[in-house]
A = this chain, B = another copy of it.
Amino acid sequence: MVATANIPADVFSAISHPARRTMLDLLAHADHSAGAIAGHFEMSRPAVSQHLRILLDAGLVTEQRHGRERRYHFVPEQLSVVRDWLAHYERFWDDHLQRLQKTLAKKKKS
């Protein structure tokens, strides 16, 4: 077996560019073709294609060939990396989840 690097590209880097976040927002609403996505941006279509590639490598989207189109589909699972990282800081906020966590923790202990 060849040692093919299977490490997904960094999700944090992938979402660091505003255009890519906009793309994810678009795709979270519905699947779109590359051309349809490009229609939402000022930049050239190849530039959009390159951004999509980065999202693809990060595992944040998948592509499905459909005739001569490529339809992109949002994959939320990879965002859990960010989610989990943020969870480290939950204790700094005081929202529902936080209170819930405390409550449950107390119950578990008793």
Which residues of A are interface residues toward B (Cβ below 8 A)? Answer: 10, 12-13, 15-16, 18, 21, 25, 28, 76, 79-80, 82-83, 85-86, 88-89, 92-93, 96-97, 100-101, 104-105, 108
Contacts and interface: CB of A to CB of B under 8 A. Distances in A.
A92 B108 contact: no
Contact of A12 (B10, B15, B28, B104): B15
Given A21-B85, A79-B89, A82-B82, 18 more contacts: A10-B16, A10-B18, A12-B18, A12-B21, A16-B16, A28-B88, A28-B89, A28-B92, A79-B86, A79-B92, A83-B86, A86-B86, A96-B97, A96-B100, A97-B100, A100-B100, A100-B104, A104-B108
Contact of A13 (B16, B79, B96, B104): B16
A100 B105 CA distance: 10
A25 B16 CA distance: 19
A-B pairs with the 6 shortest C-beta distances?
A76-B92, A16-B16, A12-B16, A13-B16, A96-B97, A76-B89
Contacts of A10: 16, 18
